Structure 1
Amino acid sequence: MTVHFPFQNTYAALPDGFFARVAPTPVASPRLIKLNRPLAVRLGLDPDRLDSPEGTEILAGVRIPDGAEPIAMAYAGHQFGYFVPQLGDGRAILLGEVIDIDGVRRDIQLKGSGPTPFSRRGDGRAALGPVLREYIVSEAMAALGVPTTRSLAATITGEHVIRETPLPGAVLTRVASSHIRVGTFQYFAARGDTAGIKRLADHAIARHYPQAAQAECPYHALLEGVIARQAELVARWLLVGFIHGVMNTDNTSISGETIDYGPCAFLDHYDPAAVFS
C-alpha cells in the first residue's frame, strides 16, 4: 500500500534565491496521534494510506514522498517594531503542492521537521504543545468560517526538544493556499532585487489574484487585493474575539489566510487592552 501525493512544485520552480533546498531531518520513533481525515479527502489523499506506517513516516519527515521537492522558503519581516532582512523557514519544510477537489492549489508543509539554512542556530523542531495548539485553533478558525491555514496531521517524533525544560517533540503537517508572506516581498525589496520582486508578484498574481492580470496596472491591483483581504481577515478575527499574538509581516499571508498560531487566544469578554504575547 503506497501513499501517493500528486505533487506539483510551482514555487520550487522559481529561482534558487527564493528558497533553500533542504530535506526534513528524520526522527527516532514517529507516531501519528491525529489525522484530519476529512481534510485529507478534500486534498484528494487517501486517509487510510496516510494512517499507515509509511504515511506516518512521511508526515513526520522520515520519508520523502515521490514527487516532493522539499524547500525552506526565504522571507524577511518586521518583528515587534524592528526589521529583520532575513528570516525564512527555520523549522518548516514545504514538500510540494496538490490540487484539491475544488481545483484549488494547496501547499503541504511539515512544521518542526528539523533545521534549515534559515534556522539561526535553532534546532528546527517543535514541541508537542504548540503543535496541538495550532492544530486545534486553526481547525476551530476554519469551522468558524475564518480564512486560515489548516492542519492535516500531528505526529509525535519520539524525541525531546529542549526549551526551558525537555518537552516531547512533534511535527505538524500544515496546509495553506500558499506560504507567501508580506515578508517574502520584503526579503527581495531589502536587497534592491526588483527582478525578484517582479517574479514573485507574477507568481502571486497567477496563484492568488488572477483578475489582477487583466487590470491596467496588475501590480497595483495585486497590492489592492492583498490589502482588501487582510482588512477582511482582521475584521473576521474581531468578530470572533481572536487575537493573533505575533502579527508581524513574516506571519502575514498574502492569500488572506490566518497563519502561524504562536501566542494567540480568544477573548472571553471584550477587553481592548488584552494581549497574548
Structure 2
Amino acid sequence: MHIVTAYSAAIFVASTLAALFNTLLIYLYYRCPLKYIKGYKYFFLLTAVQDLLASICIHLTAPRIAAQNSYLVYVATGPIYTEPYADYIMLIFFLMMSSSIIILTNSFAYRYVQLCLPKFSYIYDSWRWITAMIAANLFIFLNFLFIIAGTTVPNDTFKKQVYDEDLFELGSFTKKSFVGLSMKYSINGITIPVLADCVVIMSLISILGVFFAISIQRKLQQASLSERTRRLQQQLFQMLLLQVGP
C-alpha cells in the first residue's frame, strides 16, 4: 500500500509542474520554430523531452535517498514502488540524468563552434560529420547505460542488508524497490573498472563543458560582434546556463 507523506506530496506537485512546463516547451517548439540558428532547435527539443521523461519518472516513483553503513540507495516511495517496475523506472530516471549531461555538452559545443570557430560550422551541415557525432554520443550513452545497469541494481544480499535496517518508517519497507551502491556488495573486480570509466568520462565531459562556456563568454565580450548578434548569442548562452542549473 502506498502511503502519502509530505515528501511524496511535494515530489508529486513539483514533478507534475515540471512535466506540464516541459510539455508546454515542446508545444511551443512546434508552434514557434526558431528563426535563427536553426541547428540549435534540435538540442532544445532533446532537452525538453529528456526533462519530461525525468519528471514522469520522479512523479511515478518519488525516489528518496538514504545513506547508511557504507551504502547509498534511492528508494521508491511513490505510486509505483514495487519490483520490477519501480526498478526500471528509476534506472530510466538515472539514464535521463546522465543523458542531460551529454545533451548540454553538445549544446555548448554547438554554440562554441558557431561563435568561436565559424569556419568549422559546416560540420553541422555534413551528414558524414553528423553521423560521426551521433555515433560518438551513442557510444557515451550506451556506456552510461552499462554503468547504471551494471552497478546500481542490488543483489539479494544487498537487498537483505537494506531491508533489515528498515531506514524509513513508511510501512512495509521490505516491499519497496531501490537502486544504489554498496561498498560491500557493489564493488568488485568488474564494477571497479566500470566506475573508474564513469569518473573519467564525467571528468572529460565536465572539462569540455567548462572550456566551451568560458570561451563563449570571452567571445561575447569582444567588440567585433554586432549588437544584434551579441544580444542573440547572449540570450542563447543564458538559456544554456539556465539548463545547467537543474
**Structure 1-normalised TM-score?**
0.28
- The structure where strand makes up a greater share of residues is 1
Q: Considering only CA atoms, is the larger Rg found in Structure 1 or Structure 2?
A: 2
Could you say which structure has the greater relative contact order, defined with CA pairs below 8 angstroms and 6 or more residues apart?
Answer: 2
**Structure 2-normalised TM-score?**
0.30
